[in-house]
Every structure is written in C-alpha cells, then in structure tokens.
C-alpha cells in the first residue's frame, strides 16, 4: 500500500486531487471520468464524488493500487 502525505497546512485533499497527485491519472478531466464511472473506492465503498474530502487514515483504491492518506 502506498501513502500520500497531506501538506502541513492542509486538513484534507479531494479525491480528484489525490488521483492526480499520485500519478494515477493525467488530468482533472480524466479523474472525473474514472470517478464517475465507479472505478474508485474510498474505504472499501465506491464513491463517485470528485470533490470527496479525504482525511488522515482514508484509503483510496483504483485498480490494483491502494493509497492511504496520512497527516
């Protein structure tokens, strides 16, 4: 499992931003496509909201990749 560390001043990162920051998608429009298609899950449940706020401890799964958000 990979981790993505939140910046010191940030309380959360959005689902779309996380996919881009992790290099899983090339653009925000691609993030929107895979999220609305139901290809991404948060904490084991499919989430279709690109703006979903992810906080410390949340786990995002896309394909075979799992990423845990850490503070």
- Residue 18 — very low, low, confident or very high, per pLDDT cuts 50/70/90? very high
CATH 3.10.290.10 fits 2-70, yes or no: yes
What are the residue boundaries of the structural domains of the chain, listed by start? 2-70
pLDDT at 19: 97
- Residue 59 — very low, low, confident or very high, per pLDDT cuts 50/70/90? very high
pTM above 0.85, yes or no: yes
Segment 33-52, tens digit of pLDDT: 999 999 999 999 999 999 99
- Residue 53 — very low, low, confident or very high, per pLDDT cuts 50/70/90? very high
pLDDT at 26: 95
The total number of residues written for the chain in this structure: 71
């Amino acid at each position: 499992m990979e981790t993505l560390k939140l910046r010191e001043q940030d309380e959360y990162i959005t689902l779309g931003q996380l996919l881009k920051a992790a290099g899983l998608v090339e653009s925000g429009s691609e993030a929107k496509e895979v999220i609305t298609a139901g290809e991404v899950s948060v904490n084991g449940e499919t989430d279709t909201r690109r703006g979903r706020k992810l906080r410390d401890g949340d786990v995002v799964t896309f394909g075979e990749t799992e990423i845990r958000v850490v503070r």
